[in-house]
Amino acid sequence: MVLEVYAALNDPSPQGLAAAYAEHRAQLLRFLIARTGQPADAEELLQEVWLKIGAARTGPIADARAYLYRVAQNLALDRLREMKRRAVRERDWADVTLDQRADAPEPAATVDAESALIAAGEAQRLADAIARLPPGAGRAFRLHKLDGLSHAEVALRMGISRKGVEGHMATAMTHLRRLLAEKDLG
CB distance 171 to 134 below 8 Å? yes
SS (H, E, C) 29-79: HHHHHHHHCCHHHHHHHHHHHHHHHHHCCCCCCCCHHHHHHHHHHHHHHHH
Structure confidence by residue, pLDDT tens digits, 133-178: 889 998 998 898 888 889 999 999 999 999 999 999 999 888 888 8
CB distance 138 to 180 below 8 Å? no
Structure confidence by residue, pLDDT tens digits, 3-12: 343 444 444 4
- Report in angstroms the alpha-carbon separations of 34 from 40, 43, 73, 94: 12, 12, 11, 32
Q: What is the DSSP letter of 148?
A: -
CB distance 132 to 180 below 8 Å? no
Structure confidence by residue, pLDDT tens digits, 31-55: 999 988 889 999 999 999 999 888 8
Structure confidence by residue, pLDDT tens digits, 71-113: 999 999 998 898 888 888 888 787 777 665 444 555 555 557 7
CA neighbor of 20 nearest in space, from 69, 57, 75: 69
The domains located in the chain, with CATH, are 2-82 (1.10.1740.10), 106-185 (1.10.10.10)
Question: 10 Å Cβ neighbour count for 161?
Answer: 12
Burial 68-88 (b: 16+ CB within 10 A, else e): bbebbeebbeebeeeeeeeee
Mean pLDDT of 177-182: 79
Residue 17: its H or E element? helix 14-36
pTM over 0.95: no
Cα–Cα distance for residue pair 39/135, rounded to 1 Å: 34
